[in-house]
């Protein structure tokens, strides 16, 4: 399992320190939420901050693009240092093409679906991705509650990945806390994004260690 803390909940006036704290806390990835004010109402960060984050941490940057027509920005985020670029199936007319562009840029390619989007929307491109991100809240803001029907969707995606012998990662994003991480793991997720669940906890290391323990990797 991997933990990918979302820096949307970090203190951006101390981004370098926050990234170092995540490394020390045992994070596997750093989840970077990019929002354009169109695909979602919120506006967050762009390639400039991704590039700054890259200089501040050795952790892989797991870049989640919540932007319309992500194909316009793949080269910028790849050059900025993303290790994974995830695009939304709902945000592009050319999903297969943009996934190939990500891979051509030397970056791992992910696809995400919103809570209202069926798994069938990504079945035909499952063999082309390194990661599937199931949104368990409506994208746009951290601190929302986990949508329970996401568990059934995780199970469906896990079964579909198994059916095509894919070893893509299955990431869950939205409302993940120590209290519900085990349910998401049992439904098939193996990468867990958590924003407010980690950053509002005060002790990042304790929270991440407890998340791993809840999933069953470590005894506390």
Rounded Cα–Cα distance for residues 102 and 108 (Å):
7
33 labelled catalytic? yes
33 scored as a contact of Zn ion (CB under 5 A):
yes
Site for Zn ion in 64-123 (CB under 5 A): 64
Q: Which of 36, 62, 101, 173 is catalytic?
A: 173
Binding segment (CB under 5 A) for Zn ion, from list 10-18, 59-67, 123-131, 163-171: 59-67
Rounded Cα–Cα distance for residues 17 and 165 (Å):
40
Backbone angles phi, psi at 10, to 5 degrees: -80, 165
Q: Which of 22, 36, 195, 207 binds ligand DX5 (CB under 6 A)?
A: 195
List the one residue out of 196, 206, 11, 188 whose CA is nearest residue 215.
Answer: 188
Binding segment (CB under 6 A) for ligand DX5, from list 88-96, 122-130, 135-143, 150-158: 135-143
Question: Of the two residues 34 and 167, which places its CB atom closer to ligand DX5 in the complex?
Answer: 34
Q: Which of 33, 36, 101, 130 is catalytic?
A: 33
Site for ligand DX5 in 27-66 (CB under 6 A): 31, 33, 64
Interacting partner of 143 out of ligand DX5, Zn ion, none (Cβ under 5 to 8 A depending on kind): ligand DX5
Cβ atoms within 10 Å, residue 182 = 14
List the one residue out of 56, 50, 39 whose CA is nearest residue 78.
Answer: 50
List the one residue out of 173, 82, 84 whose CA is nearest residue 135.
Answer: 173
Residue 88: CA count within 13 A, CB half-sphere? 25
Task: Write the DSSP symbol of residue 97.
Answer: H
Q: How far is the CB of 148 from ligand DX5 (least distance, A)?
A: 14
Residue ranges in contact with ligand DX5 by CB under 6 A: 6, 8-9, 31, 33, 64, 137, 139-140, 142-144, 173-176, 193-197
Residue ranges in contact with Zn ion by CB under 5 A: 33, 64, 173
């Amino acid at each position: 399992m991997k933990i990918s803390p979302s820096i949307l909940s970090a203190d951006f006036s101390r981004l370098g320190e926050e990234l170092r704290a995540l490394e020390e806390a045992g994070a596997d990835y750093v989840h970077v939420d990019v929002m354009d004010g169109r695909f979602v109402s919120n506006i967050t960060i762009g390639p400039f901050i991704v590039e700054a984050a890259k200089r501040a941490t050795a952790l892989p940057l797991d870049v989640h693009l919540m932007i319309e027509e992500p194909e316009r920005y793949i080269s910028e985020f790849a050059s900025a240092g993303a290790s994974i670029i995830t695009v939304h199936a709902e945000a592009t007319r050319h999903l297969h093409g943009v996934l190939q562009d990500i891979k051509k840029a030397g970056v791992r390619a992910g696809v995400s679906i919103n809570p209202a989007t069926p798994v069938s929307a990504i079945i035909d491109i499952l063999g082309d991705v390194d990661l599937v991100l199931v949104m368990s809240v409506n994208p746009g803001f951290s601190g929302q509650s986990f949508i329970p029907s996401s568990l059934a969707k995780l199970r469906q995606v896990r079964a579909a990945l198994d059916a095509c012998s894919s070893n893509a990662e299955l990431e869950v994003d939205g409302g993940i806390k120590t209290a519900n991480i085990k349910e998401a793991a049992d439904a098939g997720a193996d990468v867990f994004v958590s924003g407010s669940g980690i950053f509002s906890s005060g002790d990042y290391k304790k929270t991440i260690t407890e998340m791993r323990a809840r999933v069953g990797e470590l005894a506390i």
